[in-house]
Structure 1
Protein backbone atom coordinates (compact mmCIF):
# COMPACT_ATOMS: atom_id res chain seq x y z
CA UNK A 1 0.00 0.00 0.00
CA UNK A 2 0.99 3.61 -0.51
CA UNK A 3 -0.43 6.95 0.59
CA UNK A 4 0.11 10.07 -1.46
CA UNK A 5 -0.49 13.64 -0.25
CA UNK A 6 -2.96 12.29 2.33
CA UNK A 7 -4.76 14.92 4.40
CA UNK A 8 -7.49 14.33 6.98
CA UNK A 9 -9.82 16.99 8.38
CA UNK A 10 -12.31 16.74 11.25
CA UNK A 11 -14.49 19.73 10.48
CA UNK A 12 -12.09 22.67 10.28
CA UNK A 13 -9.35 20.87 12.24
CA UNK A 14 -6.65 19.23 10.14
CA UNK A 15 -5.51 15.97 11.74
CA UNK A 16 -3.04 14.73 9.10
CA UNK A 17 -0.86 16.77 6.76
CA UNK A 18 0.40 15.53 3.38
CA UNK A 19 1.28 11.99 4.48
CA UNK A 20 3.40 10.07 1.96
CA UNK A 21 4.17 6.54 3.10
CA UNK A 22 4.97 3.28 1.34
CA UNK A 23 3.97 0.16 3.26
CA UNK A 24 6.13 -2.83 2.28
CA UNK A 25 4.58 -6.20 1.51
CA UNK A 26 4.99 -9.04 4.05
CA UNK A 27 6.61 -6.87 6.68
CA UNK A 28 5.49 -5.25 9.93
CA UNK A 29 5.31 -1.46 9.75
CA UNK A 30 5.04 0.20 13.17
CA UNK A 31 3.43 3.62 13.59
CA UNK A 32 4.80 5.42 16.66
CA UNK A 33 4.44 8.85 18.20
CA UNK A 34 2.85 10.73 21.12
CA UNK A 35 -0.86 10.42 21.89
CA UNK A 36 -3.01 12.44 19.50
CA UNK A 37 -0.32 12.65 16.80
CA UNK A 38 -2.46 11.02 14.09
CA UNK A 39 -1.33 7.36 14.15
CA UNK A 40 -4.77 5.82 14.56
CA UNK A 41 -6.35 8.36 12.21
CA UNK A 42 -3.84 7.31 9.56
CA UNK A 43 -4.47 3.61 10.22
CA UNK A 44 -8.23 4.06 9.80
CA UNK A 45 -7.66 5.74 6.42
CA UNK A 46 -6.21 2.53 5.02
CA UNK A 47 -9.53 0.66 5.08
CA UNK A 48 -11.86 3.67 5.16
CA UNK A 49 -12.93 3.25 8.77
CA UNK A 50 -12.97 7.06 8.92
CA UNK A 51 -16.02 6.96 6.61
CA UNK A 52 -18.23 6.38 9.65
CA UNK A 53 -16.96 9.50 11.47
CA UNK A 54 -19.13 12.58 11.01
CA UNK A 55 -17.42 15.68 9.58
CA UNK A 56 -14.35 13.67 8.53
CA UNK A 57 -12.97 14.73 5.14
CA UNK A 58 -10.04 13.13 3.34
CA UNK A 59 -7.98 14.37 0.39
CA UNK A 60 -5.11 12.71 -1.43
CA UNK A 61 -4.97 9.01 -2.20
CA UNK A 62 -4.52 5.63 -0.55
CA UNK A 63 -3.38 2.99 -3.03
CA UNK A 64 -3.84 -0.76 -2.66
CA UNK A 65 -2.18 -2.59 -5.54
CA UNK A 66 -2.14 0.76 -7.36
CA UNK A 67 -5.92 1.20 -7.00
CA UNK A 68 -7.19 4.19 -5.01
CA UNK A 69 -9.33 2.85 -2.16
CA UNK A 70 -11.26 6.15 -2.14
CA UNK A 71 -12.48 5.61 -5.72
CA UNK A 72 -16.25 6.14 -5.72
CA UNK A 73 -16.79 2.82 -7.53
CA UNK A 74 -14.88 0.76 -4.98
CA UNK A 75 -16.88 -1.65 -2.79
CA UNK A 76 -16.00 -0.74 0.81
CA UNK A 77 -17.14 -4.14 2.12
CA UNK A 78 -14.71 -5.90 -0.20
CA UNK A 79 -11.98 -3.41 0.71
CA UNK A 80 -12.35 -4.28 4.39
CA UNK A 81 -12.07 -7.96 3.52
CA UNK A 82 -8.77 -7.21 1.76
CA UNK A 83 -7.60 -4.85 4.53
CA UNK A 84 -8.66 -6.37 7.86
CA UNK A 85 -8.49 -4.70 11.25
CA UNK A 86 -7.77 -5.74 14.83
CA UNK A 87 -8.72 -3.18 17.47
CA UNK A 88 -7.16 -2.03 20.71
CA UNK A 89 -9.58 -3.93 22.95
CA UNK A 90 -10.55 -7.48 22.01
CA UNK A 91 -14.07 -7.29 20.57
CA UNK A 92 -15.39 -10.79 19.86
CA UNK A 93 -18.94 -10.93 18.55
CA UNK A 94 -21.58 -12.24 21.00
CA UNK A 95 -21.43 -15.57 19.21
CA UNK A 96 -19.61 -18.87 19.59
CA UNK A 97 -15.88 -19.17 18.96
CA UNK A 98 -16.71 -21.03 15.73
CA UNK A 99 -19.24 -18.44 14.54
CA UNK A 100 -16.87 -15.56 15.27
CA UNK A 101 -14.37 -16.96 12.78
CA UNK A 102 -17.00 -18.21 10.32
CA UNK A 103 -18.79 -14.85 10.14
CA UNK A 104 -16.63 -13.27 7.40
CA UNK A 105 -16.34 -16.37 5.18
CA UNK A 106 -20.14 -16.77 5.34
CA UNK A 107 -20.77 -13.12 4.39
CA UNK A 108 -18.31 -13.26 1.48
CA UNK A 109 -19.34 -16.71 0.27
CA UNK A 110 -15.88 -18.22 0.69
CA UNK A 111 -17.20 -21.70 1.54
CA UNK A 112 -19.52 -23.82 -0.58
CA UNK A 113 -20.48 -26.21 2.21
CA UNK A 114 -20.04 -26.92 5.90
CA UNK A 115 -16.87 -28.97 5.37
CA UNK A 116 -15.16 -26.06 3.60
CA UNK A 117 -16.31 -23.66 6.32
CA UNK A 118 -14.97 -26.00 9.01
CA UNK A 119 -11.64 -26.08 7.19
CA UNK A 120 -11.44 -22.27 7.04
CA UNK A 121 -12.32 -21.91 10.74
CA UNK A 122 -9.82 -24.54 11.88
CA UNK A 123 -7.02 -23.18 9.68
CA UNK A 124 -7.64 -19.60 10.85
CA UNK A 125 -7.60 -20.65 14.51
CA UNK A 126 -4.39 -22.60 13.89
CA UNK A 127 -2.74 -19.59 12.23
CA UNK A 128 -3.79 -17.50 15.22
CA UNK A 129 -2.20 -20.08 17.57
CA UNK A 130 -5.54 -20.65 19.27
CA UNK A 131 -6.95 -23.91 17.93
CA UNK A 132 -5.27 -26.26 20.40
CA UNK A 133 -6.69 -24.23 23.30
CA UNK A 134 -10.29 -24.14 22.04
CA UNK A 135 -10.74 -27.19 19.81
CA UNK A 136 -12.96 -28.92 22.39
CA UNK A 137 -15.23 -25.92 22.97
CA UNK A 138 -15.83 -24.26 19.62
CA UNK A 139 -19.49 -23.76 20.55
CA UNK A 140 -18.58 -21.79 23.69
CA UNK A 141 -19.04 -17.99 23.57
CA UNK A 142 -16.05 -16.06 22.30
CA UNK A 143 -16.47 -13.78 25.30
CA UNK A 144 -15.71 -16.72 27.62
CA UNK A 145 -12.04 -16.65 26.60
CA UNK A 146 -9.24 -14.79 28.40
CA UNK A 147 -8.15 -11.39 27.12
CA UNK A 148 -5.19 -12.74 25.17
CA UNK A 149 -7.29 -15.55 23.72
CA UNK A 150 -10.01 -13.09 22.72
CA UNK A 151 -7.47 -10.98 20.86
CA UNK A 152 -6.16 -14.05 19.05
CA UNK A 153 -9.77 -14.92 18.21
CA UNK A 154 -10.19 -11.45 16.71
CA UNK A 155 -7.00 -12.01 14.68
CA UNK A 156 -8.36 -15.39 13.51
CA UNK A 157 -11.60 -13.65 12.52
CA UNK A 158 -9.66 -11.00 10.56
CA UNK A 159 -7.53 -13.50 8.62
CA UNK A 160 -10.39 -15.94 7.91
CA UNK A 161 -11.32 -13.90 4.81
CA UNK A 162 -7.73 -14.05 3.51
CA UNK A 163 -6.89 -10.33 3.60
CA UNK A 164 -3.79 -8.90 1.98
CA UNK A 165 -3.19 -6.39 4.78
CA UNK A 166 -3.94 -6.59 8.52
CA UNK A 167 -4.20 -3.34 10.48
CA UNK A 168 -3.63 -3.49 14.24
CA UNK A 169 -4.45 -0.55 16.51
CA UNK A 170 -2.44 -1.12 19.71
CA UNK A 171 -3.40 -4.82 19.78
CA UNK A 172 -1.60 -5.50 23.06
CA UNK A 173 -2.48 -2.41 25.12
CA UNK A 174 -5.22 -4.22 27.07
CA UNK A 175 -3.18 -7.39 27.63
CA UNK A 176 -0.80 -8.61 30.34
CA UNK A 177 2.91 -9.20 29.51
CA UNK A 178 2.49 -12.94 28.89
CA UNK A 179 -0.44 -12.45 26.52
CA UNK A 180 1.46 -9.59 24.86
CA UNK A 181 4.45 -11.87 24.19
CA UNK A 182 2.10 -14.40 22.59
CA UNK A 183 0.55 -11.77 20.29
CA UNK A 184 4.01 -10.47 19.30
CA UNK A 185 5.15 -13.99 18.37
CA UNK A 186 1.95 -14.41 16.37
CA UNK A 187 2.48 -11.13 14.50
CA UNK A 188 6.01 -12.24 13.63
CA UNK A 189 4.57 -15.44 12.15
CA UNK A 190 1.75 -13.70 10.30
CA UNK A 191 4.01 -11.32 8.37
CA UNK A 192 5.08 -14.30 6.25
CA UNK A 193 1.57 -14.31 4.75
CA UNK A 194 0.20 -10.81 5.38
CA UNK A 195 1.32 -7.20 5.28
CA UNK A 196 0.90 -5.79 8.80
CA UNK A 197 0.56 -2.17 9.89
CA UNK A 198 0.53 -1.66 13.64
CA UNK A 199 0.01 1.35 15.89
CA UNK A 200 1.91 0.95 19.14
CA UNK A 201 2.75 3.18 22.11
CA UNK A 202 5.49 0.76 23.10
CA UNK A 203 8.76 1.65 21.45
CA UNK A 204 10.23 -1.60 22.76
CA UNK A 205 7.47 -3.50 20.96
CA UNK A 206 8.09 -1.61 17.72
CA UNK A 207 11.81 -2.36 18.00
CA UNK A 208 11.16 -6.05 18.69
CA UNK A 209 8.75 -6.97 15.92
CA UNK A 210 8.68 -4.34 13.14
CA UNK A 211 10.92 -4.02 10.14
CA UNK A 212 9.86 -0.47 9.24
CA UNK A 213 8.93 2.37 11.59
CA UNK A 214 7.11 5.63 10.90
CA UNK A 215 7.22 8.42 13.48
CA UNK A 216 4.25 10.80 13.59
CA UNK A 217 4.22 14.14 15.41
CA UNK A 218 1.30 16.60 15.52
CA UNK A 219 -0.28 15.23 12.37
CA UNK A 220 2.94 15.13 10.36
CA UNK A 221 4.98 12.12 9.27
CA UNK A 222 8.35 13.23 10.60
CA UNK A 223 10.51 10.24 9.74
CA UNK A 224 10.21 6.77 8.27
CA UNK A 225 12.82 4.10 7.71
CA UNK A 226 14.14 0.71 8.68
CA UNK A 227 13.30 0.17 12.34
CA UNK A 228 16.91 -0.30 13.43
CA UNK A 229 17.93 2.97 11.76
CA UNK A 230 15.01 4.97 13.20
CA UNK A 231 15.81 3.82 16.74
CA UNK A 232 19.60 3.84 16.63
CA UNK A 233 20.35 6.70 14.24
CA UNK A 234 17.28 8.90 13.66
CA UNK A 235 17.63 11.73 11.18
CA UNK A 236 15.19 14.22 12.70
CA UNK A 237 15.78 15.71 16.16
CA UNK A 238 12.10 15.22 17.05
CA UNK A 239 12.43 11.48 16.41
CA UNK A 240 15.59 11.38 18.48
CA UNK A 241 13.85 13.15 21.37
CA UNK A 242 10.91 10.72 21.22
CA UNK A 243 12.80 7.43 20.98
CA UNK A 244 15.22 8.57 23.71
CA UNK A 245 12.30 9.40 26.02
CA UNK A 246 12.82 13.17 26.14
CA UNK A 247 9.30 13.81 24.74
CA UNK A 248 6.11 11.77 24.56
Structure 2
Protein backbone atom coordinates (compact mmCIF):
# COMPACT_ATOMS: atom_id res chain seq x y z
CA UNK A 1 0.00 0.00 0.00
CA UNK A 2 2.82 2.40 0.90
CA UNK A 3 4.66 1.65 -2.36
CA UNK A 4 1.48 2.22 -4.39
CA UNK A 5 0.85 5.53 -2.61
CA UNK A 6 4.43 6.62 -3.28
CA UNK A 7 4.17 5.70 -6.96
CA UNK A 8 0.86 7.55 -7.31
CA UNK A 9 2.33 10.64 -5.63
CA UNK A 10 5.39 10.48 -7.86
CA UNK A 11 3.28 10.21 -11.01
CA UNK A 12 1.08 13.17 -10.03
CA UNK A 13 4.03 15.37 -9.06
CA UNK A 14 5.87 14.49 -12.24
CA UNK A 15 2.84 15.39 -14.36
CA UNK A 16 2.21 18.67 -12.54
CA UNK A 17 5.85 19.78 -12.65
CA UNK A 18 6.21 18.86 -16.32
CA UNK A 19 3.06 20.81 -17.19
CA UNK A 20 4.31 23.94 -15.44
CA UNK A 21 7.82 23.70 -16.89
CA UNK A 22 6.54 23.11 -20.42
CA UNK A 23 4.45 26.27 -20.12
CA UNK A 24 7.49 28.29 -19.02
CA UNK A 25 9.62 26.83 -21.83
CA UNK A 26 6.95 27.44 -24.49
CA UNK A 27 6.30 31.04 -23.44
CA UNK A 28 10.02 31.79 -23.15
CA UNK A 29 10.58 30.44 -26.66
CA UNK A 30 7.76 32.62 -28.00
CA UNK A 31 9.20 35.68 -26.25
CA UNK A 32 12.54 35.12 -27.99
CA UNK A 33 10.75 35.52 -31.33
CA UNK A 34 9.62 39.05 -30.43
CA UNK A 35 11.57 42.30 -30.52
CA UNK A 36 13.74 42.45 -27.41
CA UNK A 37 16.61 44.55 -26.19
CA UNK A 38 19.94 42.73 -25.75
CA UNK A 39 19.48 42.69 -21.97
CA UNK A 40 15.92 41.35 -22.24
CA UNK A 41 17.01 38.65 -24.68
CA UNK A 42 19.83 37.57 -22.36
CA UNK A 43 17.42 37.31 -19.42
CA UNK A 44 14.85 35.28 -21.40
CA UNK A 45 17.58 32.96 -22.67
CA UNK A 46 18.65 32.41 -19.06
CA UNK A 47 15.07 31.59 -18.08
CA UNK A 48 14.79 29.14 -20.98
CA UNK A 49 18.10 27.47 -20.18
CA UNK A 50 17.24 27.15 -16.49
CA UNK A 51 13.79 25.75 -17.32
CA UNK A 52 15.29 23.09 -19.57
CA UNK A 53 17.78 22.15 -16.87
CA UNK A 54 15.02 21.88 -14.27
CA UNK A 55 12.95 19.68 -16.61
CA UNK A 56 15.96 17.42 -17.08
CA UNK A 57 16.43 17.25 -13.31
CA UNK A 58 12.78 16.21 -12.85
CA UNK A 59 13.27 13.46 -15.45
CA UNK A 60 16.48 12.32 -13.73
CA UNK A 61 14.81 12.09 -10.31
CA UNK A 62 11.89 10.14 -11.79
CA UNK A 63 14.20 7.72 -13.61
CA UNK A 64 16.32 7.16 -10.51
CA UNK A 65 13.24 6.52 -8.39
CA UNK A 66 11.88 4.00 -10.90
CA UNK A 67 15.26 2.30 -11.15
CA UNK A 68 15.51 1.95 -7.39
CA UNK A 69 12.05 0.44 -6.91
CA UNK A 70 12.41 -1.82 -9.96
CA UNK A 71 9.46 -0.37 -11.86
CA UNK A 72 11.51 0.81 -14.84
CA UNK A 73 11.64 -1.73 -17.64
CA UNK A 74 13.65 -1.63 -20.85
CA UNK A 75 11.73 -0.91 -24.05
CA UNK A 76 13.28 -3.40 -26.46
CA UNK A 77 12.96 -2.91 -30.20
CA UNK A 78 14.94 -2.52 -33.44
CA UNK A 79 16.72 0.79 -34.06
CA UNK A 80 19.46 2.42 -36.12
CA UNK A 81 22.58 2.33 -33.95
CA UNK A 82 24.56 4.72 -36.14
CA UNK A 83 21.70 7.21 -35.94
CA UNK A 84 21.91 7.18 -32.14
CA UNK A 85 25.50 8.41 -32.26
CA UNK A 86 24.70 11.01 -34.92
CA UNK A 87 21.87 12.35 -32.76
CA UNK A 88 24.17 12.54 -29.73
CA UNK A 89 26.69 14.56 -31.74
CA UNK A 90 23.97 16.88 -33.08
CA UNK A 91 22.69 17.55 -29.55
CA UNK A 92 26.06 18.03 -27.86
CA UNK A 93 28.06 19.76 -30.58
CA UNK A 94 26.43 23.22 -30.14
CA UNK A 95 27.35 23.16 -26.44
CA UNK A 96 30.89 22.03 -27.25
CA UNK A 97 31.19 24.78 -29.87
CA UNK A 98 30.41 27.45 -27.29
CA UNK A 99 33.37 26.18 -25.26
CA UNK A 100 35.45 25.89 -28.45
CA UNK A 101 35.88 22.15 -27.92
CA UNK A 102 36.67 19.75 -30.75
CA UNK A 103 33.85 17.17 -30.85
CA UNK A 104 34.38 14.01 -32.91
CA UNK A 105 33.14 10.44 -33.20
CA UNK A 106 34.88 7.34 -34.52
CA UNK A 107 32.60 4.41 -35.39
CA UNK A 108 34.36 1.15 -36.22
CA UNK A 109 33.79 -0.31 -39.67
CA UNK A 110 32.32 -3.50 -38.20
CA UNK A 111 29.79 -1.65 -36.03
CA UNK A 112 26.31 -2.88 -37.09
CA UNK A 113 24.01 -0.23 -38.53
CA UNK A 114 20.94 -1.74 -36.91
CA UNK A 115 20.51 -3.32 -33.51
CA UNK A 116 17.82 -4.48 -31.08
CA UNK A 117 17.64 -2.94 -27.64
CA UNK A 118 16.37 0.08 -25.74
CA UNK A 119 17.27 2.99 -28.00
CA UNK A 120 15.99 5.63 -25.59
CA UNK A 121 17.98 4.41 -22.58
CA UNK A 122 21.11 3.78 -24.64
CA UNK A 123 20.98 7.27 -26.09
CA UNK A 124 20.27 8.80 -22.68
CA UNK A 125 23.27 6.99 -21.21
CA UNK A 126 25.63 8.11 -23.98
CA UNK A 127 24.29 11.68 -23.75
CA UNK A 128 24.88 11.70 -20.00
CA UNK A 129 28.47 10.51 -20.34
CA UNK A 130 29.36 12.77 -23.27
CA UNK A 131 27.56 15.72 -21.69
CA UNK A 132 29.54 15.18 -18.51
CA UNK A 133 32.79 15.15 -20.49
CA UNK A 134 31.89 18.43 -22.22
CA UNK A 135 30.83 19.96 -18.91
CA UNK A 136 34.16 19.32 -17.21
CA UNK A 137 36.44 20.03 -20.19
CA UNK A 138 37.49 23.67 -20.45
CA UNK A 139 39.51 23.35 -23.63
CA UNK A 140 40.73 20.77 -26.11
CA UNK A 141 38.60 17.87 -27.28
CA UNK A 142 35.95 15.25 -26.55
CA UNK A 143 36.13 12.04 -28.56
CA UNK A 144 33.59 9.20 -28.82
CA UNK A 145 34.68 5.76 -30.04
CA UNK A 146 32.12 3.05 -30.79
CA UNK A 147 32.98 -0.53 -31.65
CA UNK A 148 31.98 -4.15 -31.14
CA UNK A 149 33.70 -5.54 -28.05
CA UNK A 150 35.11 -9.04 -28.02
CA UNK A 151 33.88 -11.02 -24.98
CA UNK A 152 37.06 -13.11 -25.14
CA UNK A 153 39.41 -10.13 -25.08
CA UNK A 154 40.61 -8.99 -21.66
CA UNK A 155 41.61 -5.67 -23.24
CA UNK A 156 37.94 -4.72 -23.69
CA UNK A 157 36.83 -5.39 -20.12
CA UNK A 158 37.53 -4.69 -16.49
CA UNK A 159 38.63 -7.68 -14.37
CA UNK A 160 35.41 -7.59 -12.30
CA UNK A 161 33.16 -7.96 -15.36
CA UNK A 162 32.83 -11.28 -17.20
CA UNK A 163 30.64 -10.97 -20.33
CA UNK A 164 29.16 -14.12 -21.81
CA UNK A 165 29.25 -14.93 -25.52
CA UNK A 166 25.84 -15.41 -27.12
CA UNK A 167 24.92 -16.06 -30.75
CA UNK A 168 22.99 -13.21 -32.32
CA UNK A 169 24.09 -10.70 -29.68
CA UNK A 170 27.05 -8.36 -29.43
CA UNK A 171 28.54 -6.11 -26.78
CA UNK A 172 28.73 -2.45 -27.73
CA UNK A 173 31.86 -0.73 -26.49
CA UNK A 174 31.55 3.05 -26.16
CA UNK A 175 34.63 4.95 -25.07
CA UNK A 176 34.46 8.66 -24.27
CA UNK A 177 37.78 10.44 -23.80
CA UNK A 178 38.49 14.11 -23.19
CA UNK A 179 41.28 16.55 -22.40
CA UNK A 180 39.68 17.70 -19.16
CA UNK A 181 41.37 18.18 -15.80
CA UNK A 182 40.73 14.61 -14.68
CA UNK A 183 39.35 13.27 -11.41
CA UNK A 184 41.11 12.94 -8.08
CA UNK A 185 42.03 9.29 -7.37
CA UNK A 186 40.08 9.31 -4.10
CA UNK A 187 36.95 10.50 -5.94
CA UNK A 188 36.88 7.79 -8.63
CA UNK A 189 35.06 5.15 -6.49
CA UNK A 190 32.21 7.63 -5.90
CA UNK A 191 31.77 9.00 -9.43
CA UNK A 192 28.71 6.84 -10.13
CA UNK A 193 27.13 7.48 -6.72
CA UNK A 194 24.04 9.69 -6.68
CA UNK A 195 24.32 13.23 -5.28
CA UNK A 196 28.12 12.97 -5.24
CA UNK A 197 30.51 15.13 -7.25
CA UNK A 198 34.25 15.50 -7.45
CA UNK A 199 35.77 17.56 -4.64
CA UNK A 200 38.46 19.04 -6.89
CA UNK A 201 38.40 22.82 -6.90
CA UNK A 202 38.26 23.14 -10.69
CA UNK A 203 35.04 21.11 -10.84
CA UNK A 204 33.15 22.65 -7.95
CA UNK A 205 31.92 25.64 -9.94
CA UNK A 206 30.10 23.57 -12.56
CA UNK A 207 27.16 22.68 -10.32
CA UNK A 208 24.64 19.91 -10.88
CA UNK A 209 22.82 17.36 -8.77
CA UNK A 210 25.20 14.47 -9.38
CA UNK A 211 22.45 12.21 -10.76
CA UNK A 212 23.26 11.55 -14.39
CA UNK A 213 26.27 9.30 -13.92
CA UNK A 214 24.44 7.34 -11.21
CA UNK A 215 21.50 6.87 -13.58
CA UNK A 216 23.83 5.89 -16.42
CA UNK A 217 25.38 3.13 -14.33
CA UNK A 218 21.91 1.78 -13.45
CA UNK A 219 20.90 1.80 -17.13
CA UNK A 220 24.09 0.02 -18.20
CA UNK A 221 23.65 -2.62 -15.49
CA UNK A 222 20.02 -3.09 -16.53
CA UNK A 223 21.18 -3.69 -20.11
CA UNK A 224 23.70 -6.31 -18.94
CA UNK A 225 26.78 -4.15 -19.41
CA UNK A 226 29.49 -2.53 -17.32
CA UNK A 227 30.66 1.07 -17.00
CA UNK A 228 33.85 2.44 -15.50
CA UNK A 229 36.12 5.46 -15.53
CA UNK A 230 39.87 5.91 -15.88
CA UNK A 231 41.65 9.18 -15.16
CA UNK A 232 45.24 10.27 -15.62
Q: TM-score, normalised by structure 2?
A: 0.30
Task: Name the structure where strand makes up a greater proportion of residues.
Answer: 1
Which structure would you say has the larger Rg? 2
More helix, by proportion: 2
Bigger relative contact order (CA 8 A; separation at least 6): 1
